[in-house]
Structure 1
């Protein structure tokens, strides 16, 4: 029996130790909504009820608007417009989307194309939980071969000064799902900070951003064990930082003795194999954004080389055979419970 992303979301990353704080301090409040194909949960620590309300609304409004810009499913989104105009004239794009497109190009260059937002051209995969209501479906092998010619991050034309983007070949398409979520969550967190709230966390179905701290403690974030996703591998303490997760347990279905999941190898269009999940912890989202998906494509050894060039990133990588922890993750990951 397969379990889709929606059924797993709340256990992907959990905040531990806040329940007791919530009972002791009425200033702690949680809100949760569906956004970006998952459940997003905001936790605020703020005594003033009016300020909390303003912060919640500002964050939800900002994140919703950005998600609409960058969704591959939303009619009229920038991503849909770029695909519709592929082979034609450049498209003027909002500043936030341009920043994400530039970030996608940077991580693609850093990983030698292991991360590639142009995998949107592999449009025949469906995992039974997308916004258009498709049933789970394995892509046709011949179609993947044909679509492969439409994939290639170097071909995406970006003009940061004019703030335009262009896909040069009809049929090209982008999928920003692996690179847009963290900036969108960060934008929501910035709205909360502007509202004057001193401490907040946003958990977006596997990706967590936070600033400030609950009184007298750090945020505690539980990291799921990718090889046994029903369990936690451990807990990390976090303040003013980010946890980013990628895994084959997020959107998937099981068929013909194999797991078919949404992280696709740009070189083939098939779901990645070998790495089941990656969790990355860092101070800034730029250090980790897109890197988890790239490690799932590139494998553990290439991932270790990339991580060696990102000394501020602590990592957990689960493969078929074992779970590897960087030195920093070994030091910070503590048992759950």
Structure 2
């Protein structure tokens, strides 16, 4: 369909300029000002700026470690991108309804993780939401599909039709026209792979900031890393900051990429049950040591709503959360409140 004219749209986009005090959605990293032994490296990856802050006396060795981490993260991002015509993920999408596709072990593990997250959330998280392929929130090429197109494509969304054969190492979408989108679940495993590369290179104190998702290890100058939580109601402000020595901070929200169309805010997190952007919480921040406890959950809570999100968080051990609801109210788990105190 023809994209609406500029008078119908207000575009929202994240800032990725290096050195700004506010990082991508949800997170703030206190700037490091010429601290000896602390080094920053940056590269655009997965559509956002990826920042590494590493501590080590030998800058050359630290720089080599950063290069190795970026190389590994780039390799995995290329493998799992639906936008690259040569990616393994694209091969699965092209062969939907035709035949299973052999996939690399790293992609197989992410697909298994996606399937588990889909089952655990009752379909609130669904990797086949990529079947809703006419939505585009790129400011340079906005596309809002008609209700008819949404309905047609919604019929192709269904995580149970993702068939994975672990022994054969294959993945298969059982219906023609289905598409996978791993944007909601691939980034954290990619950050973890980058951190593993840093550790192999001898870097113990590190933070990887990947545009709304952060992974930290060790310390910064003998103190825990401090990650600030951006307020989705007023992105220029912070709700607070949390100290962290190890683990993931993952953020999801409705203002990272959005348009205002016919008076309604439309953003990039799609509800796999309606085919339209979610209308629940404004933002969700999750903290956990375990990747499996956190991955895909933010998107699922954005779909399920704040009440369901609170219920899920309170039942999950070793998981801290902050949820900003559609009415602007803020809820913190007990652990998150303690971190913010």
TM-score (normalizing by structure 2)? 0.92
- Contact 2:16–2:49 (8 Å) recurs in 1: no
* C-alpha distance after superposition, 1:121-160 (max 9, x if no partner): 000001025xxxx611212111111111111001100011
Match of 2:189 in 1: 183
Match of 2:333 in 1: 326
* C-alpha distance after superposition, 1:216-237 (max 9, x if no partner): 2000001111222221111000
- Contact 2:280–2:304 (8 Å) recurs in 1: no
Partner Cα separation in structure 1 for residue 276 and residue 197 of structure 2? 38
Give the secondary structure class of the aligned counterpart of 2:252: strand
Work out whether 1:161 is the aligned partner of 2:150. no
Match of 1:10 in 2: 23
Work out whether 1:211 is the aligned partner of 2:221. no
Change (3 A) 1:30 1:7: closer
- Contact 2:231–2:239 (8 Å) recurs in 1: yes
- Contact 1:5–1:252 (8 Å) recurs in 2: no
Query: Among 237, 255, 258, which residue is 1:231 paired with?
Result: 237
Match of 1:306 in 2: 312
Match of 1:47 in 2: 57
Partner Cα separation in structure 1 for residue 169 and residue 23 of structure 2? 37
- Contact 1:11–1:230 (8 Å) recurs in 2: no
Match of 1:279 in 2: 285
Give the secondary structure class of the aligned counterpart of 1:234: strand
Give the secondary structure class of the aligned counterpart of 1:174: coil
Query: Among 188, 193, 199, which residue is 2:199 paired with?
Result: 193
Query: Aligned-residue CA RMSD in angstroms?
Result: 1.4
Which runs of 5 or more residues in structure 2 are unaligned? 1-9
Work out whether 1:72 is the aligned partner of 2:82. yes
Partner Cα separation in structure 1 for residue 318 and residue 125 of structure 2? 20
Partner Cα separation in structure 1 for residue 84 and residue 199 of structure 2? 28
Partner Cα separation in structure 2 for residue 227 and residue 142 of structure 1? 32
Query: Among 13, 21, 28, which residue is 2:38 paired with?
Result: 28
Partner Cα separation in structure 2 for residue 81 and residue 148 of structure 1? 21
Deviates more, 1:4-13 or 1:209-218: 4-13
Match of 1:145 in 2: 151
Partner Cα separation in structure 1 for residue 295 and residue 236 of structure 2? 25
Which runs of 5 or more residues in structure 1 are unaligned? none
Deviation at 1:11, TM superposition (A): 4.6
Partner Cα separation in structure 1 for residue 75 and residue 280 of structure 2? 36
- Contact 1:253–1:259 (8 Å) recurs in 2: yes
Match of 1:297 in 2: 303
Query: Among 88, 96, 102, which residue is 1:92 paired with?
Result: 102
Partner Cα separation in structure 2 for residue 274 and residue 268 of structure 1? 13
Give the secondary structure class of the aligned counterpart of 2:234: coil
Partner Cα separation in structure 2 for residue 309 and residue 103 of structure 1? 20
Deviation at 1:215, TM superposition (A): 2.7
Deviation at 1:323, TM superposition (A): 1.0
Partner Cα separation in structure 1 for residue 307 and residue 74 of structure 2? 37
Match of 1:248 in 2: 254
Query: Among 263, 271, 275, which residue is 1:269 paired with?
Result: 275
Deviation at 1:7, TM superposition (A): 5.7
Runs of 4+ in 1 over 6 A off after TM superposition: none
Give the secondary structure class of the aligned counterpart of 2:236: coil
